[in-house]
Amino acid sequence: MKVLFFGDTVGRSGRTALLTHIPDLRRRLDLDLVVVNGENVAGGFGITAAICTELYAAGADVITTGNHIWGQREIIPHLDRDERLLRPHNFPPGTPGRGVGIYSTRGGKKAMVMNVMTQLFMDPLDDPFACVEAELAKVRLGVTVDAIVIDVHGEATSEKTALGVLADGRASLVVGSHTHVPTADWRILPGGTAYQTDAGMCGDYDSVIGMEKTEPLVRFRRKFSQGRLQPAQGEATLCGTYVETNDKTGLAVYIAPLRLGGKLAPAWPIATNEPR
Q: Which residues are bridge partners to 113 per DSSP?
A: 101, 149
Of the candidates 21, 68, 89, 180, the residue annotated as catalytic is 68
Choose among 133, 103, 100, 87: nearest CA to 32: 103
At residue 75, φ and ψ (nearest 5 deg) are -75, -20
- Which H, E and C letters describe the chain, residue by residue? CEEEEECCEEHHHHHHHHHHHHHHHHHHHCCCEEEEECCECCCCCCCCHHHHHHHHHHCCCEEECCCCCCCCCCHHHHHCCCCCECCCCCCCCCCCCCCEEEEECHHHCEEEEEEEECCCCCCCCCCHHHHHHHHHCCCCECCCECEEEEEEECCCHHHHHHHHHHHCCCCCEEEEECCCCCCCCCEECCCCCEEECCCCCEECCCCECCECCHHHHHHHHHCCCCCCCCECCCCCEEEEEEEEECCCCCCEEEEEEEEECCCCCCECCCCCCCCC
Relative to beta strand 173-177, strand 147-153 is parallel
Which CA distances in Å does 28 have to 128, 129, 269? 35, 36, 11
Residue 68 annotated among the catalytic residues of the structure:
yes
The residues carrying an active-site annotation are 68
